[in-house]
Amino acid sequence: MNKLSLDALARNHLETAAAAPAGRSSETFYGGHERTLRQTLIALTRGSTLSEHPNPGEATVLVLRGRVRLDADGDSWEGRANDVLVVPEKSHSLEALEDCAIVLTVAKS
């Protein structure tokens, strides 16, 4: 069994994102492209975005820190620490309303 501190991972990636020109940092900590399930921690500085992209499969966003807005086809949802957003099955984008750390969980079809 492996154990991982999401708090420590978020702290480290928030520091890296703050120093990065794009204002983001990420790490897949479970699974990967060759697996069905993939979990990735993503840290974004305020105002940074994940531009519009297609839905990769069933997906959720767990907000660990900060606030985010998920936009899809004219609809939007805001999430803050401890909220889970279900990613719609269509193209979408994500914006950091504050410095944030999220866990993106994807199960590919």
Instruction: Indicate the domain borders of the chain.
Output: 6-107
Answer CATH for 6-107 from 1.20.960.40, 3.40.640.10, 1.10.10.10, 2.60.120.10 = 2.60.120.10
Three-state secondary structure call for residue 8: helix
Asked if 68 contacts 94 with a C-beta cutoff of 8 angstroms, the reply is yes
Residue 57 has a pLDDT of: 82
Q: Is residue 70 very low, low, confident or very high in pLDDT (cuts 50, 70, 90)?
A: very high
pTM for this prediction: 0.93
Q: How confident is the model at residue 15 (pLDDT cuts 50, 70, 90)?
A: very high
pLDDT digits (tens, 9 = 90+) for 16-46: 999 999 999 999 999 987 888 999 999 999 9
Chain mean pLDDT for the chain: 94
Closest CA to 59 of 103, 9, 4, 10: 103
Using alpha carbons, select from 97, 102, 13 the residue that is nearest to residue 47. Answer: 97
Percent of the chain with pLDDT over 90: 83
